[in-house]
Structure 1
């Protein structure tokens, strides 16, 4: 379409368009400059998850390297932060309905990726595991192998969640409830949301999900055992997600940039806790106190035990306080940034690589030399980076 107008008006139009474009480009570049570290952090979490899940002799040492906090907490928190930040801006710019639609589209994408991974696991990967006789894989999908139709349908319904394939269903559920949480927080404040979220987390420590699931089984006759519904306690992990949503929303409103510095006693005590948990983890191992179920339950990953949350929030305060200095001192790692920017496809590729390794090579580390494990880890990381580059290239086109 050609716009015909006077030379003066045409020149003014070109000047206005150029100024608008320059302003838009500057704004986007500014966002990228300020947010590359979030993608790098998400990329680091993906690398740690892959190194932990891949059955090699390095997985134990790389699991929870910073204390009694795993990559899953960081990944969920960062995902919630990004979702809160982006969708708060969308709500301010296009309204609450547009924000809700964006959450729904994202939930459908994550659900589609989960179903694709599930179908691949139940077909090709299961066939490989049976062919090579790898119990690490066949035990992982034992319920499906014994009840294929029930396993398939309940898996599609996000009820049956085999190990490793239980975080995406959690993500789907949290995305579906997020527009209601975020819209209420934007319109009425966050105090009531945090009260409800905190109470749900507390109830989760006393096995709320298992109790509700027992009632569901009694009412419907559902034949999927509770232990097959996934390791993550949804009512506990929602607290971390809600906190991330709030933090991202506050960032979108500019509240984090304008916040007062943390009090020095809080920073020092948080730093002391981080160092103490770090030393504890690497002196004792990943089990806080072997044989002591009570203390171990306080650090439980799946229920987000109170001491685990204490470790996480102490680390968060330290990172937020020293973040600018850390960012200025460290070099930019493009590999991590690319992975974080394409987190969903990279996460799915990581699952497929881990499951293929379990199906073909198994989990018996004594049968493999060190160089093979090293090659597996290095090759897998390169495959994750390559998948990120491909996904970003397709997105740009």
Structure 2
């Protein structure tokens, strides 16, 4: 049922998840300049779609195997442990980010700008009640929306796996039905005091479940379609059309080239409720990219790919670090009224720090596994000598 054999690792997942983490950092640290080197300004979807899809795929691979082999209760227990890890990482990131904001506002000549920009005015007016709301994931600063979404989606993974045991395509069918109901009846989760989740879990679950469905065998069944030349050219045409539409957002003179009926049909392209055009754009990207990056691509084991893969393998830690670094870098660029060169330097320095931390985690894991092997070998020698 699972897409990969036991013990096999799909390096493309780590590669593209690491790339998504880098792109998210760049989009946050320089939202007005460096985003021109990310995918955000060239189509309907961005790095968030890549991250959520791969999260669903890898979660189903890891915890699906545990659930199917060890039983539903054991599998659910392992999923809930991961949910707790994501939740605590979110709270730690919240504390770090609030400390950063407090420090910057204390030394800046324009503290009101950062308070408004990061949407934390209520916190500094009444921190007690805001912290309580933060514990319930109902209050968070700007750019802290992905981990709460991840918590909710992972919490419902056991249900997805349970339904998958009844029929392999039933989770996806239920997910599509929930997505349609969300759009029809405006289902959403509220934030404190009077807002909505900027990533609506009722809608974004479609991408997460689709990733899980692909991992549980759906991806293999889709392979003949994805490898079709007709589908490839259709996907490429859609990407070109999406590129042209997004260019009209930055160059208004191009808007007259879009027929009125088409504009009324496609707008608004809503990120909060995961517009279907964003989903289609992600699928088109996947079709084109997978054509050029097959599973046996030799470059996956090259030196240039290793930093991306390492970051992808420690996605939770690197994501949290990226959000914290992005605000620090954004504040520095704002205070210095920086130009292009400093933007590039800050972006590159942040990515280097993300890779360095991922390398430390990798080294630590290697060192600890070596110590465990040494302990095992020593125990065996003692037993044999006895």
TM-score for both structures, normalised by structure 1: 0.78
- Is 1:81 aligned to residue 57 of structure 2? yes
**Residues 383, 200 of structure 1: CA spacing in aligned structure 2 closer, same or farther, 3 A cutoff?**
same
Alignment of 1:225-374 (within 5 A): 225-227=193-195, 229-250=196-217, 256=220, 259-262=223-226, 263-282=228-247, 284-285=249-250, 294=264, 297-324=267-294, 327-328=297-298, 333-358=305-330, 360-361=331-332, 363=334, 367-374=337-344
**Residues 92, 203 of structure 1: CA spacing in aligned structure 2 closer, same or farther, 3 A cutoff?**
closer
**Residues 124, 322 of structure 1: CA spacing in aligned structure 2 closer, same or farther, 3 A cutoff?**
closer
Q: Is the 8 A contact 2:333 2:342 kept in 1?
A: no
Q: Is the 8 A contact 1:87 1:99 kept in 2?
A: yes
Q: Distance in 1 between matches of 2:359 and 2:175?
A: 37
**Residues 59, 231 of structure 1: CA spacing in aligned structure 2 closer, same or farther, 3 A cutoff?**
farther
Q: Distance in 2 between matches of 1:149 and 1:109?
A: 24
Q: Distance in 2 between matches of 1:43 and 1:296?
A: 31
Matched residue SS, 1:205: helix
Alignment of 1:103-114 (within 5 A): 103-114=79-90
Q: Is the 8 A contact 1:57 1:373 kept in 2?
A: no
Q: Distance in 1 between matches of 2:233 and 2:266?
A: 26
Alignment of 1:165-180 (within 5 A): 165-180=144-159
What residue in structure 2 maps to residue 220 of structure 1? none
**Residues 258, 173 of structure 1: CA spacing in aligned structure 2 closer, same or farther, 3 A cutoff?**
closer
Gaps of 5+ in 1: 1-25, 214-222
Q: Distance in 2 between matches of 1:299 and 1:138?
A: 28
**Residues 267, 120 of structure 1: CA spacing in aligned structure 2 closer, same or farther, 3 A cutoff?**
same
Q: Distance in 2 between matches of 1:195 and 1:108?
A: 28
The alpha carbon displacement at 1:357 in A equals 3.1
Q: Is the 8 A contact 2:333 2:343 kept in 1?
A: no
TM-score for both structures, normalised by structure 2: 0.80
The alpha carbon displacement at 1:53 in A equals 0.4
Q: Is the 8 A contact 1:289 1:295 kept in 2?
A: no
What residue in structure 2 maps to residue 137 of structure 1? 114
**Residues 168, 364 of structure 1: CA spacing in aligned structure 2 closer, same or farther, 3 A cutoff?**
same
What residue in structure 1 maps to residue 20 of structure 2? 45
Q: Distance in 1 between matches of 2:6 and 2:280?
A: 37
- Is 1:128 aligned to residue 93 of structure 2? no
**Residues 60, 323 of structure 1: CA spacing in aligned structure 2 closer, same or farther, 3 A cutoff?**
closer
Matched residue SS, 1:69: coil
Q: Distance in 1 between matches of 2:251 and 2:212?
A: 29
Per-residue CA deviations over 1:8-44 (Å, capped at 9, x if unaligned) read: xxxxxxxxxxxxxxxxxx974xx24xx1121111011
Per-residue CA deviations over 1:203-227 (Å, capped at 9, x if unaligned) read: 43357245x74xxxxxxxxx92332
Q: Distance in 2 between matches of 1:301 and 1:289?
A: 21
What residue in structure 2 maps to residue 198 of structure 1? 176
What residue in structure 2 maps to residue 96 of structure 1? 72
Gaps of 5+ in 2: 369-386
Q: Is the 8 A contact 1:85 1:249 kept in 2?
A: yes
Matched residue SS, 1:163: coil
The alpha carbon displacement at 1:295 in A equals 5.6
RMSD (CA atoms): 3.1
